[in-house]
Structure 1
Amino acid sequence: MPKAVLIPQSFTETGRKVFRDADIQMIEVPAVNNDALLHYADQIQGAIVMLDPISNETYPHTPNLKILARVGVGYNNIDPQGAAQHGIWVTITPKANYNSVAEAILGGILLASRDMYQRNQLLINGNWSKGHAPAGHDIAGQSLGIIGYGRIGHALATKAAALGMNILVNNGSHHKEPEIGTAVSLDDLLANSDYVSLSAPVTTETTEMMNRNTFSKMKPTASLINFGRGQLVNHNDLIDALKNNTIHSAVLDAFQQEPLPVNDELLSLPNVFLTPHIGGGTTDAINRGCQDAASEVVRVLSGNQPLWPVNQL
């Protein structure tokens, strides 16, 4: 059987070149999802996965599938252990976009620090005087709480500290001593941070960790920055916290439901800035991710171990 891999239309030329060089056929589909995997099950040994959920019920019908290579670091759309039970590797691309996400978070902090979104709206609405009035804070001397100290958290700490911010870190039950900043309890982080940034994985421990209780522990002047996963935040509790001024503002790139519904109440709040899950979506990061994901497929289909698996066979 010739080697073949399922790829989404958005897969970049950097990744396609890896497959061409390895003489692996590419089957392009609009999105790599359960239906596409089932439709091409008799032809493919690998697939490139973006954000579409992949069901464990698909695997018994894809007996030739050896690897699902995720472009990105989050894999809550796949059950790695369920895949492993059917002899399928699940891999990620941890070096592709961590810097891009850290830069996006830093941009969110800068935006929130000066109420840039609100000032933009005042200007657009013709209220120059109110928009021009002094407001906001320098970020130098402010405290940034980072929840989740992986590659993104580490890169963010380095960048924010270089701008004079105080860094507080909490890595949940998996304690890490940060190279920059101070490891603290979650309660201490929430109570002392001017900005709380989420970069933790979605687990039983972290699902909806930001909720009515944790928002009440934050400073009323603090901002929530979420360029991680929407499942880390209780959506309705966040809306209440923003409406009731329990916290000052939020900058959000990830949501419990994506795409964000057009009638979602977040869209009408004046103290929240929203982007459509683009934190790691620079051209540079996507090119790196596609190249690294393709390389993982080539390794596995050549009979070798992947470099970045999130399960074990």
Structure 2
Amino acid sequence: MKTRITELLGIRYPIVQGGMMWVGRAELAAAVSNAGALGTITALTQPTPEALGVEIDRVRSMTSEPFAVNLTILPTIKPVPYDEYVQVIVGSGVKIVETAGRNPEPYLPAFKAAGIKVIHKCTSVRHALKAEAIGCDAVSVDGFECAGHPGEDDVPNLVLVPAAAAQLRVPMLASGGIADARGMVAALALGADGINMGTRFMATREAPIHENVKRQLLEHDERNTALIFRTLKNTSRIFRNAVAEQVLDLERQEGTTFADLKPLVSGERGKRIYETGDTDDGTFPAGLAIGLIHDIPTCDELVSRMVAEARELIHRRLATMMDKAGNETACVP
């Protein structure tokens, strides 16, 4: 499957595993890359820049295929040495970086000088155009369906992807609500050059998280997410559990601040969920794609199945809607 994304990134299939805090580790990234897609490790999952260098070496010991490093740039209570993380990425020889959060422009000169391709995650057309303007090589456009932060515009991918495609010149990934071949084919039809999946890759055998978390994603549907931080204008989509309900209850109370919510939503509690399997111990991101998760395959099984089913959809089901002369024919459900 050749698209502008496969050519830009040097991968076989236009499928990218998005960076996920505490989840984007070497085991998962290598398995995704070995399957012909693009695996991604998450820089800030590692406690220090030096630890990131070790994790990059671990990926290289497991795959010879391209992989990416995610660098999410956000304001934090504890200062993050972003410059040092960038230095490690550049010095490691990694050739693909996924940036997210704030404007990555301060770090682009270093990435460009090292020949690194930069994909920036955006939640709106205007942000995608800004990323293109500052020199990003591609963008990942995240619709309202995505896990984590979908922005404040609440525009789903059925509108957001073609709206972005109509104005962008750089290659674009569609992200949010995609978990199978149908979503991939739809994204390509809407104008994307590939897809970015996070939640679906959490429910794979190689994902380095507790089986209880994977089972929760498997056993629940698209109704089981919650939007928190809406009152703070920093919306985040998470799995709907007991702690999520507590957060929502607090947000309904007038005058609630982030300080009131912090004990419930701390990153350390989320990390502990992935380690212990107590899925009511804190919060963790999950997208609407949980409604499309029906098994826990290997990454190779997932990617191979998606590609095979996508070809089937394109060449058989959709092709049968056109006659040999290329004229529209009746389509019977």
Q: Do they superpose with TM above 0.5?
A: no
TM-score, normalisation: structure 1: 0.33
TM-score, normalisation: structure 2: 0.32
Choose between structure 1 and 2: higher helix proportion.
2
Greater relative contact order: 1 or 2 (C-alpha under 8 angstroms, separation 6 or more)? 1
Larger radius of gyration: 1
